[in-house]
Amino acid sequence: MKRFLDSMEMNYEKWHDGVGYDLTALDEMTQSDKDSIAEMLISSGQSDPWRKFETLEYIKTARSLAAINSALRHPSLEVRIAASRFARGADEDRERVLIEALEQSDLYGGLTQALDQIETFHPPGVIDALLRGLLERDSVAVNFAGMLFYIFGKADSSFDWNHRPFFLRFSTGERKEREQAFIQLCNIIGVDPKKYIE
């Protein structure tokens, strides 16, 4: 218990490197101690949400898993994004959160974490939001283009540097130029652009 609680003390290195809490310490606890940890995390605020949800998912009691799914409706989008990474059996809620992230978040406000999830979880609504974002979101459209190439099997990673010059065409503020790049991307991945361009 002490080792786990000590691991919750955050410093710059842990924050920067994305180090979570000491989950192996949980393996050496009694179920009663694990339940106490879960209750403490459930009642805690929204700091370090992904670490909290990772721990609750690891504990895997009905209550800890329900707390993750419940957080999919938290007032903070960043908390909802973190919860969606560990939610189980709530694909519709998870899809809704990721669509919201694609529409509203920036790269330092949860969007990077959302895109990490989208590499492996991209139902039709998420793909639709990525395509709309190519036309509507200036600062992150480049990342959306990379992700779409990856999802449709046209790239080896979610931002394949071999295609970077093409992705950068979406960083323009000129609507016509962006639409031309969008039509070209749609043709490459086999999507009808007319649905998105009037």
For residue 105, give the DSSP letter.
-
- What count of Cα atoms within 13 Å lies in the side-chain half-sphere of residue 179? 8
For residue 73, give the DSSP letter.
G
Q: Which one, of 163, 181, 185, lies nearest residue 172 by Cα?
A: 181
Q: What is the pLDDT of residues 138-183, one digit of tens each?
A: 889 999 999 999 999 999 999 999 999 999 999 988 999 999 999 9
Q: What is the pLDDT of residues 86-101, one digit of tens each?
A: 998 889 999 999 999 9
Q: Is the pLDDT of residue 46 over 70?
A: no
SS3 187: helix
Q: Where are the domains of the chain?
A: 1-96, 122-198
Q: Specify burial of residue 196 (Cβ count, 10 A radius: 0-12, 13-18, 19+).
A: middle
Structure tokens at 177: 């130029």
| Rounded CA separation 145/97 (Å) | 20
Of the chain, the percentage scoring pLDDT greater than 90 comes to 81
| pLDDT at residue 93, as a whole number | 93
| Rounded CA separation 196/187 (Å) | 13
Q: Specify burial of residue 43 (Cβ count, 10 A radius: 0-12, 13-18, 19+).
A: exposed
Q: Specify burial of residue 171 (Cβ count, 10 A radius: 0-12, 13-18, 19+).
A: middle
